[in-house]
Amino acid sequence: MKRWLILGMAFVVVALLVVGCEKPVKGTGVYGKIVDKETKKPVEGATITITALKQMTEASPVVWAVTGNTDASGNYSMKELEPGNYAFTVTRQGYFAYSISEITVKQGKMNKINVQLEASFVGG
């Protein structure tokens, strides 16, 4: 009985170590994975756009944007944003666009945003 208890505890410890092995992403910004909503397969080449409205002077606001793309595994990372509020958009031909109207980026923190894109169909 004692042997099974020790073996069970060792299994739990190993399982926790394996689950907790995801490397933390360092920086100030956003990262995540984009997948197809139906198939759950990664979406390569999706465009992620982060947009902010910066008030340069009271009379001249400036729209600022940065873009990036997903890799073959559907992963993306934008690590060098300034702290602030942003809009977040994902686009890819063959899919409906996905948007979040406001995300808050804090200094030294990475927001994980995973997205499931829904395929668009053109009837004919």
Q: What is the pTM of this model?
A: 0.73
- 3: which residues sit within 8 A by CB, 6+ positions away? none
CA distance 93 to 47: 10
pLDDT tens-digit series, residues 37-73: 999 999 999 999 999 866 556 666 677 899 999 999 9
Q: What is the per-residue pLDDT across 72-116, written as a single tens digit (0 to 9) for each?
A: 999 999 999 999 899 999 999 999 999 999 999 999 999 999 999
Fold classification of 25-117 is: Immunoglobulin-like (2.60.40)
Q: Where are the domains of the chain?
A: 25-117
